[in-house]
Structure 1
């Protein structure tokens, strides 16, 4: 079906990634007319580590298992490829690795089963509020209208700033993602985090079924990331050639303070909302969380039960932002003094369990932040 300005949907969703797909599933299930607009094909390689807490399953009425390729039970930490720390994750907080293309397609398929429409090859170039509706136009001339709008097209989205929602000043992490065939030395059920090789950041390796996702990210510096030098050391240590794999560069929006995530009939979700964890680079859980949360508040607003979407911004601040405020403070100290951070943070006996609890949502950064920051600053002084 081609776009038509004559049909007025309840919701238009720009972007059918994790956040947009999650919103579409719940809005369609609530009997709203939903149209997903996607620029690419979900089968395209997505530059994402693919790690997410198994606890996200509670937010969906269908199994996410088809997208899960590995269940992580063990995490290996290292400093400049040495000084290893091996941590067994607690049984009640497993970590899943998904292939992002597969997860996005699963969510889109489930949304369409519930009545949502999805159109690919849509390059949105104009978004405008017209009276009581939103109008979206694509570069090929197609148009759509809807009572409400969800901005879910990732870190490169221009729409939050143009519409005056989300942070005015966007902070970026510079990242390189590498998709590798074969698992090298990385065992099933084991993830790897490498500190020391990456200035003001870290590297990670997550196993897939028959492959590995490797990422390199720098989180607080303004300088360009010299990923080639990092990968020349890291990939051979993982059992791969230093030039192996398919690589993608990405500037990832990271959490940058409490901001309004809503406007008049519009919300922003996922990476477009700058929700990525500024310390551990976790993006999938907040993407899914924000998509599900947005659907709840949009559904209520569409039915006339609430006058605005302010409650969505408030809910994300409480569920995610309060913890990220402390996470940013930890990141600013840790990545400025990473050697001290590794010795006093990662190598502490309780640290791996705390990390697992944060990733699973059982604990927030606020529960540990003051102790961690004080420890790092006292040791540095």
Structure 2
């Protein structure tokens, strides 16, 4: 270990986004020595819609509301900008829109309040097992060591495959995000989903305080997403110029099967673990969920209460993977026959409530999958 290395920590977390921040919060609160390593300086925009169920609040002992910019109570659906469906979401504040930069900052601040070290501008170039510990090396030569490692650096992370954890073959969605100033024709508390313009995917518009997050995603096709063609039609319909906003392109890892998410003293969480919902593209809730679960199982392992981290993989399979297995089957049918899916799925009177229940975790895809798939395939036939 070089002279500029830190002392050995309990846990190194590579990436201080939602998943890494959630893990760091709970591990530091449990009195473990945690070091968060983040590549960016925290000032850049996050290419994320920012939607998450308010139900995630019960996973945290402090309020997430400082990061919440809008509470969505109504969802507007459309097909090729027409054939609208307007749905009032059930329950009290079922869906939050957060500004991702602020959420990530809030989690990192809470972790440091409990004693975690947060270092930005760290471009990790090497990760290896070093005796009983993990050693991480940055591009500038700095090194860190710890008893355990959490991989939380997003969809572009090279480390799960190199360390032999997570899925070997990664399925990607092609997405483009646009941050816009002003809300155009989008009302406060109202989100928009457009299913007809995007081949094998959909577009969304989520309101912020004084702005809108617009996104376009294609989920099962292999063709290049022509996001500009979609945005030229969608943005004017939302009350913006067709060339408004700065576009951020991203390849998002989506769930594609049950896989081991742990190794010897190492866990992978969030987008790096390919946890994103393959049907609705929900990534924030599984990111926060996996970070919280990682902290529980790592804490037990660090204290010698269990000899492996296999329980983390098992918990994520039960809490998330079983539902996503059905979600992927629904996506494969829905996005191949999207017109049928819109008519027989989205336009059904019960659909908005079912979507809200799935996003909140009250219901899983398995509860509706067989009926939905049968309905779509029979109608197609």
* TM-score normalised by length of structure 1: 0.99
Query: 1:313 aligns to what SS in structure 2?
Result: helix
Q: Closer, same or farther in 2 for the Cα pair 1:350/1:100, shift >3 Å?
A: same
State the partner residue of 1:364: 364
State the partner residue of 1:149: 149
Deviation of residue 36 (structure 1)?
Answer: 0.2
Measured in 1, the distance between the counterparts of 2:291 and 2:6 equals 27
Q: Closer, same or farther in 2 for the Cα pair 1:8/1:242, shift >3 Å?
A: same
Confirm or deny that 1:33 pairs with 2:30. Answer: no
| 8 Å CA contact retained: 2:72, 2:93 | no
Measured in 2, the distance between the counterparts of 1:174 and 1:231 equals 14
Measured in 2, the distance between the counterparts of 1:32 and 1:248 equals 36
**Mapping of 1:154-169 within 5 angstroms?**
154-169=154-169
State the partner residue of 2:180: 180
Deviation of residue 238 (structure 1)?
Answer: 0.1
Query: 2:202 aligns to what SS in structure 1?
Result: strand
| 8 Å CA contact retained: 1:68, 1:97 | yes
| 8 Å CA contact retained: 1:194, 1:202 | yes
Q: Closer, same or farther in 2 for the Cα pair 1:6/1:96, shift >3 Å?
A: closer
Q: Deviations over 1:131-169 (max 9, x none)?
A: 100000000000000000000000000000000000000
| 8 Å CA contact retained: 2:80, 2:197 | yes
Measured in 2, the distance between the counterparts of 1:56 and 1:287 equals 11
| 8 Å CA contact retained: 2:160, 2:268 | yes
Q: Deviations over 1:199-248 (max 9, x none)?
A: 00000000000000000000000110000000000000000000001210
Confirm or deny that 1:200 pairs with 2:200. Answer: yes
| 8 Å CA contact retained: 1:3, 1:144 | no
Measured in 1, the distance between the counterparts of 2:82 and 2:357 equals 25
| 8 Å CA contact retained: 2:10, 2:148 | yes
Measured in 2, the distance between the counterparts of 1:40 and 1:157 equals 14
Deviation of residue 189 (structure 1)?
Answer: 0.2
Query: 1:374 aligns to what SS in structure 2?
Result: helix
Measured in 1, the distance between the counterparts of 2:79 and 2:6 equals 59
State the partner residue of 1:240: 240
State the partner residue of 1:97: 97
Measured in 2, the distance between the counterparts of 1:298 and 1:275 equals 19
Q: Deviations over 1:255-302 (max 9, x none)?
A: 000000000000000000000000000000000000000000000000
Q: Closer, same or farther in 2 for the Cα pair 1:191/1:334, shift >3 Å?
A: same
Q: What are the ranges of 5 or more consecutive residues in structure 1 without an aligned counterpart?
A: none
Q: 4+ residue stretches of structure 1 with deviation over 4 A?
A: none
Number of residue pairs matched? 380
Confirm or deny that 1:320 pairs with 2:312. Answer: no
RMSD between aligned alpha carbons?
1.0
